[in-house]
Amino acid sequence: MSGLGRFLEFSVLAPEILDSLGYYKMLGFSEQTIGDTWSHKYAVLSDGVLCIGLHDREFDSPSISFVQQDLGKHARAMSDHGFDFTVMHLDEDVFNELGLSDRDGNRITMLEARTFSNTDEYGNDSVLGTWFELSLPVRDTVRSARFWGSVAPTVLRIREEPTTHMRFDVGGAPVGLSESIALEQASLCFKCPDKDALMAFITRHDLPHKKYPGYEGAFVALTAPEGTKLYAFEEDFLGESIVVDEDVDPDEFPT
């Protein structure tokens, strides 16, 4: 588990939550059973691995959300190590929540407990295929890696050319740091086993999309109703899975 906790969901602002809910269900995601934690409208969709949280409330969206017990203790420890929190709700009478950003403004949320239950432990891939990365836009991958390496020391993949790209295991979530100018926002990447079937599906349902959007060889990018970018690839653009290092020291990354 990372210092941030266990990955819970990719949280997004969804003003038209029913439109977003129907969209992901059409793609093959399953709706999960939510608790009564949030007072705003809230829904969660999952393919068995990736969970997308739809929130009908104003917040810095999107955010990668994690579950970490004893948030007060972690907040003190992280503050002592130089982390700055933009959201800090810590009290016995409220649902505890912390919010912070990485060096490039990518949002992170830490919660004291889960906010939904998985209705299908195993699940199935959506029509998009298998989720393999949550890509974050960064100005300098190596510099950004100093932040992510301090909270998630397991590096899954590294590529140096043509642009530096690093993928970390962050509490069970494969988080990639990308310098690509084609990546404008935090986005979800999928390995699709049947390109022709997906393109036929997109055409049949008249889904907003862009062919060959320029990001790492993706053959299509879809845009969900709330604005989330979903990239589909024929293969993982970093190649086959290998173990890079199980215990990376963030001090090894230059400033």
Domain 6-117: homologous superfamily in CATH: 2,3-Dihydroxybiphenyl 1,2-Dioxygenase, domain 1 (3.10.180.10)
253, pLDDT greater than 50: no
Q: How many residues does the chain have?
A: 255
Whether the domain at 6-117 and the domain at 130-233 fall into the same CATH topology: yes
The pLDDT score that the predictor gives to residue 254 is 44
Query: What 8-state DSSP symbol labels residue 42?
Result: E
Q: Read off the pLDDT of residues 184-207 as tens digits, 9 standing for 90 and up.
A: 999 999 999 999 999 999 999 999
- Give the largest CA-CA distance in the chain: 54
Name the CATH architecture for the domain at 130-233: Roll (3.10)
Domain-wise residue ranges, the chain? 6-117, 130-233
156 vs 86: CA distance, rounded Å = 29
- H or E element, residue 231: strand 229-233
Q: Tokens standing for 23? A: 């969209």
Q: Name, in order, each residue with C-beta under 8 angstroms of 10's C-beta and a sequence gap of 6 or more.
A: 50, 51, 52, 53, 62, 63, 64, 65, 134, 186, 188, 228
- Band of residue 246 on the pLDDT scale cut at 50, 70, 90: very low
Q: What does pTM read for this prediction?
A: 0.91
| The pLDDT of residue 65 | 97
pLDDT in tens, 119-169: 765 567 899 999 999 999 999 999 999 999 999 989 999 999 989 999 999
CB atoms within 10 A of CB 243: 9
Q: Under a CB-based contact definition with an 8 Å cutoff, are residues 63 and 108 in contact?
A: yes
